[in-house]
């Protein structure tokens, strides 16, 4: 059978990895796909040394790839928003299937891209957009078809996880670890996307859509990064038997769906608490299957290429099938997406870790306990640290049981307004993953 021609736009970390994997494993890939897969055209702004590109057309204008009538599948690996969107829309317009690793593009423009692809009868595959090499899109979209998904929670930003792991294990400073993640090629071009939770929010937005059959709603994801986490909090969490992880959580509740990205304490015995370094992991809970866990490299050249190539093979296999018999982009038929609302963060329910700096005087603890008691907030554990100087301030650390976020916030306001409390209360949510 005639080989399938692939055009790759962008020959950076992931593009280079994709080319290498397609060449190195060509025979195995062809045995799986049922056809040979050839890279026939590459679009890259600057010529890259180190690749054997004999027989491959190379263009500095990536749009030439999208318009090339000989290209069957366009692989978009340039990243970013505007140009990538224009490129993908051009490819769709020219009847090409698209494979992309671009989470920002799917999270923010996926609804319009899928609508255009549906009209044209082409596929958009985006496994590599979430959790790098872990086949989490396929697992949720196809493996959970019989389930009502209750919740999912994941460590979906490798850079953030690397920083938190190094802070805990080696006591390293935040900036120093971030620099190393950048050198290793894990961090985004703008690393604030990693540390402020935007990268994780884009990935969570995609996961929640395929889990619950809702349109992509990036602007509804509550997003908080890890830049406020201090060595103190990492250490005190450890003393309480917990670890701080940066989580993306999507949970179905009565009245709506919680969609949030933030640091969270997880008990050290939980599997997710033991996912370290740049590794990613996602737990998915279905009503029939119960809890499941997926673990692997969430970034890097060939791990991400692994997902890109799997998508290319999927596209190739389905070339002969009619477009309405394919797996829908968001797992559910496009006309059956639900308009269930996304709950505001105030309506979230979880436990809380609170750290406050208070005067070391009689009655202070009683006042704080009274405020919490009046709001019906139950305390699970307390640690009080020695003052640095006699009669000075002490750190008071509390763990509370589950409570609505708005109740917790009003208790924190009351605690912060006490004369005996200094500055702001540090609040970190506690997740039980149940």
List residues near ligand HSE by CB under 6 A.
Answer: 132, 157-159, 186-188, 194, 199, 298-299
Tell me how far apart the alpha carbons of residues 270 and 263 are, in angstroms, rounded to a whole number: 15
Give the nearer residue to ligand HSE in terms of CB position, either 157 or 395: 157
Nearest to 279 by CA among 188, 176, 164, 193: 164
Nearer to ligand HSE, 188 or 431 (CB): 188
Q: How far is the CB of 226 from ligand HSE (least distance, A)?
A: 12
Closest distance to ligand HSE from the beta carbon of 405 (Å):
27
Q: Which is nearer to ligand HSE, 187 or 237 (CB)?
A: 187
CA torsion through residues 263, 267, 272, 273, sign: positive
User: How many Å apart are CA 18 and CA 301, to the nearest integer?
Assistant: 8
Which element (helix H / strand E) includes 166?
A: helix 158-170
Q: Are 33 and 100 in contact (CB under 8 A)?
A: no
In whole angstroms, how close is the CB of 360 to ligand HSE at the nearest point? 41
> Minimal distance in Å, beta carbon 424 to ligand HSE?
28
Angstrom distance (rounded) from CA 285 to CA 272: 14
CB-based contact 188:153 (threshold 8 Å): no
* Residue 316: DSSP 8-state: H
Closest distance of CB 155 from ligand HSE, Å: 9
Taking the least distance from each CB to ligand HSE, the nearer of 127 and 199 is: 199
* Residue placing its CB nearer to ligand HSE in the complex, 199 or 393: 199
Pair 283, 132: CB distance under 8 Å: no
- CB of 202: closest distance to ligand HSE in angstroms? 9
Question: CA 140, CA 151: separation in Å to the nearest integer?
Answer: 11
Tokens of 241: 């038997």
In angstroms, the CA 350 to CA 31 distance is 49
Q: Is 203 considered catalytic here? A: yes
Residue whose pair of structure tokens reads 């370290």 in the numeric block? 276
Strand partners, 280: 296
Q: How far is CA 424 from CA 104, 223, 401, 411, 430, in A?
A: 33, 20, 21, 12, 19
Residue with tokens 């949030």: 260
Residue whose token pair is 């009003």: 410
Phi, psi of 179 (to 5 degrees): -60, -40
Asked whether the beta carbons of 397 and 354 are under 8 A apart, the reply is yes
Q: Which is nearer to ligand HSE, 194 or 314 (CB)?
A: 194
Nearest to 152 by CA among 164, 134, 136, 163: 136
- How is 200-245 classified by DSSP, letter by letter? HHHHHHHHHHHHHT----GGGSEE--STT--HHHHHHHHHTTEEEE
DSSP class of residue 61 equals S
Alpha carbons 65 and 313: distance in angstroms, whole number = 19
**Which of 57, 203, 336, 375 is the catalytic position?**
203
Catalytic residues: 203
């Amino acid at each position: 059978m005639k080989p399938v021609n692939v055009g790759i736009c962008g020959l950076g970390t992931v593009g280079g990895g994709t080319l290498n994997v397609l060449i190195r494993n060509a025979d195995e890939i062809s045995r799986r796909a049922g056809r040979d897969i050839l890279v026939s055209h590459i679009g890259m702004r600057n010529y890259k040394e180190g690749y054997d590109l004999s027989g491959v057309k190379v263009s500095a204008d990536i749009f030439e790839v999208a318009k090339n009538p000989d290209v069957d599948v366009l692989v978009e690996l340039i990243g970013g928003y505007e140009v990538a969107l224009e490129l993908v829309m051009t490819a769709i317009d020219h009847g090409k299937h698209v494979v992309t690793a671009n989470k920002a593009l799917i999270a923010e423009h996926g609804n319009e891209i899928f609508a255009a692809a549906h009209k044209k009868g082409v596929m958009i595959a985006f496994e590599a957009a979430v959790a790098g090499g872990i086949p989490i899109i396929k697992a949720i979209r196809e493996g959970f078809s019989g389930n009502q998904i209750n919740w999912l929670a994941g460590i979906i930003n490798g850079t953030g996880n690397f920083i938190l792991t190094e802070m805990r294990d080696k006591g390293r400073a935040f900036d120093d670890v971030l620099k190393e993640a950048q050198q290793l090629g894990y961090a985004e071009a703008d690393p604030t996307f990693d540390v402020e939770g935007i990268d994780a929010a884009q990935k969570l937005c995609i996961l929640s859509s395929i889990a619950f059959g809702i349109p992509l709603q990036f602007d509804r994801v509550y997003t908080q990064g890890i830049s406020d986490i201090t060595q103190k909090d990492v250490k005190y969490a450890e003393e309480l038997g917990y670890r701080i992880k940066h989580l993306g959580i999507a949970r179905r509740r009565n009245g709506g769906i919680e969609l949030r990205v933030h640091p969270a304490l997880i008990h050290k015995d939980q599997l997710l608490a033991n996912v370290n370094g740049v590794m990613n992991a996602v737990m998915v809970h279905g009503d029939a299957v119960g809890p499941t866990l997926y673990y692997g490299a969430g970034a890097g050249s060939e791990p991400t290429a692994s997902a890109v190539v799997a998508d290319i093979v999927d596209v190739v296999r389905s070339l002969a099938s009619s477009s309405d018999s394919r797996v829908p982009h968001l797992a559910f038929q496009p006309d059956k997406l639900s308009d269930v609302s996304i709950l505001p963060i105030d309506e979230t329910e979880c436990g809380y870790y609170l750290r406050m700096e208070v005067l070391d005087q009689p009655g202070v603890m009683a006042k704080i306990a009274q405020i919490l008691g009046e709001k019906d907030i139950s305390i699970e554990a307390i640690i009080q640290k020695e003052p640095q100087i006699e009669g000075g301030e002490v750190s008071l650390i509390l763990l509370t049981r589950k409570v609505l976020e708005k109740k917790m916030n009003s208790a924190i306001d009351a605690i912060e307004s006490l004369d005996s409390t200094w500055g702001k209360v540090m609040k970190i949510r506690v997740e039980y993953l149940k």
